[in-house]
Structure 1
Amino acid sequence: MDALDVARWQFGVTTVYHFLFVPLTIGLSVLVAILQTMWHRTGNERYLKLTKFYGKLFLINFAMGVVTGIVQEFQFGMNWSDYSRFVGDVFGAPLAIEALVAFFLESTFIGLWIFGWDRLPKRAHLASIWAAAIGTNLSAYFILAANSFMQNPVGYRINADTGRAELTDFPAVLTNKVALITFPHTLAGSFLVAGSLVTAVGLWHVIRNRGSADTGAYRFATKFGSWVVLVASAAVLFTGDIQGKIMTDVQPMKMAAAEGLYTTESPASFSVLTVGSLDGSREVFAIKIPYLLSYLGTGDPNGTVHGINDLQAQYATQYGAGSYTPIIPVTYWSFRFMIAFGMAAGAIALLVLWSQRKGRTPSSKWLLRAGLAMPVLPLLANSFGWIFTEMGRQPWIVFGEMLTRNGVSRSVSLAEVLTSFTAFTLIYATLAVIEVKLLLRYAKAGVPDVSEEHPIDDTHDDAERPLAFAY
């Protein structure tokens, strides 16, 4: 074990941990904005209760996401300084815009939304949560644009004197075809997570608190969240199909690694399950779907999918001697776990909707257990999706331009990386306990009582009223 291995583990662990909060923040910001819009348009108190209820869960998650996300950028200078020097002129541009524009947009308007209850005019207060949601989604786009450069570098040139990548076409970086499809795919996955949480919490209250005065609100939340999950599941499949074709075009080795396909095939089958050697080079048993891999990769059921052996020989000729094959068991299983967990969440959403057909009230303990598992399933799907995306790119840190082993900080020792890795892991574990306890406490508390709240009269001056904190 050396500093490179630990630095990779540290970045992988902190990134996956941070991304547990990101999709929920992205999706829940929009869902809360939709609920508040429904209250604004109808005046129905039920929607106000749900807005404040899920808004509280959104704020808890947002705060944790900010705390864990700050660490990510520090790691570029701490453990990956050679990478930062090489790609900083390009990589830094979208990240700087994300911090200066998108993050400040969402953080400013979240503050207005938190403290603006019963003080800001209703329309201005509603606009603030929508502005925060837009900022959150813009933030995701700029970060994905930076990541997409690592997958498919565009809009740059290599300075022969400095050996650094220099930005030549910023619009090309922002319109990278990988970013253009990764963004909607990530949004769909985020709504899958947020819809699952809304469904799980609502279902718990419907079953455990039957006959309460707020049962109607919880029933609506359960149906609302389930429909969001189903629509998001369809969007994930659609965007994922396009993403697979673009991935095959720009990183054919990643598609081959997703299947463990060593020899070029036309047509190529997709294996649902394979039992073989540890490195995936020898197949013992497999359940396959004919033509599916060809369609996923090329759009043609009879299309040609290049195998690992042919691509390895091509890359060795093009980039020099060395292994350009990722860890096949990791890419193979992470790809399938991503699909399986995402589909499982959609299946549970269908069961939840079926259980409430024609006004029925669900009571099954098995359904409750399945519903409580819903938020975890798309979180796992998102995590395995990113593990596949990043591990499938290996051994490149910037595909075709810089190997991962060349991007690590040369002046950082193994002991130093181990120390920071251990510290971050312990801190993150503590934050995880705090996050889960807070979410469970406020989720169990149920919707707030808003009967004594009086929305501000937009026609009168409210300057003398003290600042109110709604949560």
Structure 2
Amino acid sequence: MDTELLARIQFAFTIAFHYIYPPLSIGLGLLMVVFEGLYLKTGKKAYEILTRFWLKIFAITFGIGVATGIIMEFEFGTNWSVYSRYVGDIFGSALAAEGLFAFGLESTFLGILLFGWNRVSPKVHFISTIGVFLGSMFSAVWIVVANSWQQTPAGYHIVGEGLNARAEVTDFWAMVFNPSSVDRIIHVWQGAFLAGAFLVLSVHAYYLLKGKYVEISKKAFKMALAVATLVSLSQLFSGHSSADGVAKNQPAKLAAMEGHYNASSAADLYLLGWVDNESQEVTGIGIPGGLSFLVHQDFEAPISGLNAFPKNEVPTQVNAVFQFYHIMIAIGMFLIGLTLYACYLWWRGTLFKKKWLLRIFVLSALLPQIANQVGWFAAEMGRQPWVVYGHLKTSDAFSQEVSSNQILFSLILFLVVYSILFLLFLYSVNKKIKHGPYDEADNPNEFLKYT
């Protein structure tokens, strides 16, 4: 098999697997801040129990996330040496900032968060919870900044020529606030908040269906629902802003996302469809001129299509980009409808009487994770054939010294190890969920005094 393709598959697998965990850590961190803040404000034992319970699942998620993320740094050096040389100064700056601002903050407070119960005051512990949550958010900032620079480079100049060329930072803050970074950071945060909120909704919907931990689950469900509703609605704005940025800075990617081929014409907005790259046609349901309206507020405004660019500078897997992008949109709209309907039932006082709705919420934990994954797939595949947009192609970025057999062997090894880690993660989380937030068998009435 082609060495470049294997290297891309290996990195896609490792980063996609790793990305299961950081969004959960960020999202659960937010909910822990909410629960512990309510405990300090109200003094109700229920919120302390919820904080302690979700802290255990947070710790498992955080640990697996760290373990699965380390390997990617080695892949840069072994499989993508030309790329590593080219972006080393940029990534070095961003990752150094991550270590200083994110890992430093997390490591300072993580020990207190995990082991500080009954050893420090409630306020100090709450500050530690906030510190770990902010650290996880800052970590996402610098990773997204580095990736966004690949999408929309800024604040740099090129030193050297050919395979020895590399980008050097000339303006650190221009590099940080490159044209796509802010929109993408906000969108990533929101996806992470939804991942955490819907995991909480899923687990407590499961408890409610089983008739276990009912009172405490109602409290947790309502708080998580409020977060999920606000964040899912706010994603409409960040998603639109991100799409406007793509239209301005990466028009070929936007064309691939909507299967738009005509060099300059009004573009339709598809709800669903299938792209035939050979005939350059899309079969599906769409709004005529809808994309033109979203970008220019004019149904007749021309949008640059894939035929407006050189064939060797546009994505080849147009249908895949189209499908991944539209799956993300479909899930986002479904989550908005689901949370708004649940809020309506909450207002009516019938939220917990709808067993069918609780069953949907049990399964809903998968949806933000799927949306996060396919969103990244669309963004990265839509950027092809560039690894640094407009400057360095993916075909020029991988290591020439590494053979396809070596990459294939390591890919199989990673597949085995990561599968074991994933099964361990599922087993550990399932064990915590089955044990529950507290032991009802000891004295089920004792807890109710504190609710």
Contact 1:24 1:193 in 2 (8 A): yes
User: Matched residues in 1 for 2:86 and 2:176: separation?
Assistant: 19
Correspondence for 2:157: 157
Correspondence for 2:223: 224
Correspondence for 2:385: 395
Question: Percent identity, aligned pairs only?
Answer: 36
User: Matched residues in 2 for 1:360 and 1:324: separation?
Assistant: 51
Which residues of structure 1 form unaligned runs of 5+?
314-321, 453-471
Q: CA deviation at 1:323?
A: 4.8
**Do structure 1's residue 412 and structure 2's residue 402 form an aligned pair?**
yes
Matches within 5 A, 1:5-404: 5-160=5-160, 162-209=164-211, 214-277=213-276, 279=277, 281-283=279-281, 285-312=283-310, 322-360=312-350, 362-404=352-394
DSSP-derived class of the 2:233 partner:
helix
DSSP-derived class of the 1:190 partner:
helix
Contact 2:274 2:319 in 1 (8 A): no
Which residues of structure 2 form unaligned runs of 5+?
444-451
Q: Deviations over 1:257-294 (max 9, x none)?
A: 001111045432111222453x2644363211133211
DSSP-derived class of the 1:263 partner:
coil
Kindly tell me: are residues 239 and 67 of structure 1, through their superposed partners in 2, closer, same or farther at Cα, counting changes over 3 Å? same
User: Matched residues in 2 for 1:282 and 1:403: separation?
Assistant: 24
Matches within 5 A, 1:455-466: none
Q: CA deviation at 1:197?
A: 0.9
Correspondence for 1:468: none
Kindly tell me: are residues 159 and 299 of structure 1, through their superposed partners in 2, closer, same or farther at Cα, counting changes over 3 Å? farther
Counterpart residue identity of residue 22, structure 1? P
DSSP-derived class of the 2:352 partner:
coil
Counterpart residue identity of residue 338, structure 2? I
User: Matched residues in 2 for 1:383 and 1:28: separation?
Assistant: 18
Kindly tell me: are residues 77 and 60 of structure 1, through their superposed partners in 2, closer, same or farther at Cα, counting changes over 3 Å? same
TM-score using structure 2 length: 0.93
Counterpart residue identity of residue 262, structure 1? Y
Contact 2:275 2:322 in 1 (8 A): no
Counterpart residue identity of residue 208, structure 2? V
Q: CA deviation at 1:229?
A: 1.3
Counterpart residue identity of residue 87, structure 1? V
User: Matched residues in 2 for 1:113 and 1:276: separation?
Assistant: 50
Counterpart residue identity of residue 255, structure 1? L
TM-score using structure 1 length: 0.89
Counterpart residue identity of residue 175, structure 1? F
User: Matched residues in 2 for 1:353 and 1:19: separation?
Assistant: 29
Counterpart residue identity of residue 409, structure 1? S
Single out whichever of 123-132 and 97-106 deviates more from structure 2.
97-106
User: Matched residues in 2 for 1:300 and 1:74: separation?
Assistant: 48
Correspondence for 1:438: 428
User: Matched residues in 1 for 2:61 and 2:383: separation?
Assistant: 30
User: Matched residues in 2 for 1:134 and 1:67: separation?
Assistant: 20
Q: CA deviation at 1:325?
A: 2.9
Single out whichever of 350-359 and 246-255 deviates more from structure 2.
350-359
Kindly tell me: are residues 276 and 254 of structure 1, through their superposed partners in 2, closer, same or farther at Cα, counting changes over 3 Å? closer
